[in-house]
Amino acid sequence: MTERETVALREYVETLVAHESKLREEWARANERALLLQAAEYDRRLATLNGERQRQDQLQATYLTRAEYNLQHKILADMAQDNKEKLGRLESAGAGAWRLVTIFAAIVSLILGMILLAEQMGMLK
């Protein structure tokens, strides 16, 4: 190989090495930018998830457990049954009271009718 060819080959290799070095530097910068973008995206997603977690916690605070529901349901069912029984007793007592009122009204009507009849017949003067 001649000296001229050696110089040309050396320049060619140096050019390749410089180009390769430049490409590696560009790749390193691009990789660093990509990692920063990825970190920013992770932060954004984490913030979204944290907000969703708070929303879910607030929503879940309004829920009842099955045990609480069953307990409250039993209390309401017992109250409804008690009210039904009280209503039945009141209706029975009311029916008896209405019978007495009806009998009393009938007796008063009978007495008034007898008084009017006696007046008409001239028995009361």
Amino acid at 14: E
The model's pLDDT over 39-84, given as tens digits with 9 standing for 90+, comes to 999 999 988 888 888 888 888 888 888 999 899 999 999 998 988 8
Residue 37 token pair: 């973008």
pTM score, whole prediction? 0.40
User: For the chain, which residues make up each domain, given as ranges?
Assistant: 1-63, 82-125
Lowest mean pLDDT among 17-31, 51-65, 80-94: 80-94
